[in-house]
Amino acid sequence: MKHIVVTIDGPAGTGKSTVAREVAKKLGFVYLDTGALYRAAAVAIDDSGCKTSNEQDCVRVLSRATINFADEHVFLNGLDVTQRIRSQRISSLASEIAVHPSVRNALLDLQRSFRGKSSLVAEGRDTGSVVFPDADIKIYLDASQEERARRRYEELISKGFAVSYDQVLNDLRERDSRDSSRATAPLVIPQHAIVVDTTHLSIENVVRIVLDKVRRYLAD
């Protein structure tokens, strides 16, 4: 039986993770959080003390690191880093290391290896354009920067992080700029992707829209 791949891409704060997780759960597919992979890599690099600007050092650290997923938990070298990777600091560091072609190549095979095991809902910033360019269904979620910053701010506050809305908005703008302008695998709307603006939509509505698209494809 052919394994189906659904990709959900878009900038930070559009609801990608929540939507992808719910869609995967309802379809019985595996949820692949590629952003968590980059965040775990950022933790490894941060702990090593090397600078994110040093591409060779970053790749050397990753060559010795082991990243695994189990029951929606992320493990780095056997340690559960699920909570740690959601901090604003690690989020920014993940965006900084993602500009390096060698880092992206080092993590690409790991992402693609999941396809051989099960049907997937893969979520990230280049899953439909680079990781799985031949995905069966491609979704691109978007929303205004102000709304995305508000969502991210409320998420961080609920988890006990001390941040201001302005700080989150500034970090998001910088991240958008880095993600869209990097030379390797920039954030783009993948070819043939269905674009959904989530600014004024609830998570439930977005999940319903995505599920409708997937089920129509499966019915055909």
CATH of the domain at 52: 3.40.50.300
Residue 220 lies in a domain: no
Q: Give me the pLDDT at residue 1, please.
A: 60
- Tell me, what's the pLDDT at 133? 96
Residue range(s) defining the domain that contains residue 207: 5-215
- Residue type, position 63, single letter: S
pLDDT number for residue 19: 96
Say whether pLDDT at 181 is over 90: no
Is 128 contained in some domain?
A: yes
Q: Can you list the alpha helix ranges (DSSP code H) found in 13-54?
A: 16-27, 34-48
As a whole number, mean pLDDT of residues 174-187 equals 85
From the list 24, 25, 15, the residue with the least C-alpha distance to 205 is 15
CA distance 91 to 35: 9
Of 102, 107, 124, nearest to 58 (Cα)?
A: 102
What percent of the chain is modeled with pLDDT above 70? 100
Cβ atoms of 34 and 132 within 8 Å: the answer is: no
Count of structural domains within the chain: 1
